Amino acid sequence: ALLDQVQGAEEVGAAIFQATFFRGEVVAKADVLEYAGGGQWDLYEVKSCSRSSYQKYLPDLAFTASAARRAGVSLRSTFMITVNTQGTSDSGVSLFDTIDCTDELLKAQEGLIQMLEESTVGESLDWALQATEGQVPEAKALLHCKKCELFSECVGKGLEHPIWELPRLSEKRFFELASQSLEVRGIDS
């Protein structure tokens, strides 16, 4: 967020709408940035989806959170506000659900966050645009991918014996092997 916006709103519960984060050429906007106290902020993204389909928007939330951190904002939690399909104005049941995505974002999207933070500006923007348009960005194999819940749907999809099965695999050696193949059988000795 613009640093003066963030510093000027340090009262617990104070909110900045459409907070703009930028560092270098990376720019992102959070729908809501709410001060949580102790120098930390909660980031909210509002999406026109339900609790059953919010996961497809996690890459968008990951990109915004990454941009906020790059801009020097300390995030405590990340949330997605979605439509509550059970809510009606007559019943008193809220029309919106607030989903805490903090742990899920860190676990399921760990690889994406690292790719965004380690990538070039152009790659980050391309991945974010693809993700927000419902396209799956091209996967980039990283050493820690095997630990990700999405491994078998992502870089590990269709691999019988992926190189991650090799013992004592260093990051340097991983990238040397990955340049040949992600499948053990496809590697030259």
pLDDT digits (tens, 9 = 90+) for 92-128: 778 888 999 998 776 644 555 555 555 555 555 555 5
In sequence order, what are the residues at sequence separation of 6 or more whose Cβ sits closer than 8 angstroms to the Cβ of residue 138?
none
Which pLDDT value is given to residue 34? 92
Percent of the chain at pLDDT exceeding 70: 74
Give the residues across from 42 on adjacent strands. 34, 77
Which pLDDT value is given to residue 12? 76
* Residue 87 to residues 91, 98, 118, Cα–Cα distance (Å): 7, 13, 41
Scanning the chain, the segments in alpha helix (DSSP H) are 3-8, 58-70, 102-108, 110-118, 121-132, 171-178
Model-wide pTM > 0.85: no
Which pLDDT value is given to residue 126? 59
Greatest C-alpha distance within the chain: 69
The radius of gyration computed from the CA coordinates of the chain, to the nearest angstrom, equals: 19
Closest CA to 42 of 10, 70, 15, 77: 77
In sequence order, what are the residues at sequence separation of 6 or more whose Cβ sits closer than 8 angstroms to the Cβ of residue 155?
139, 140, 141, 145, 182
First-to-last alpha carbon distance for the chain, in angstroms, is 50
Number of H helices, E strands in the chain: 6, 5
Which pLDDT value is given to residue 164? 92
Average pLDDT of the residues of the chain: 79
Length of the chain: 189
CA-to-CA distance for 78 and 44, rounded, in angstroms? 6
Parts of the chain with a pLDDT under 50: 1-4, 108-109
Which pLDDT value is given to residue 108? 47
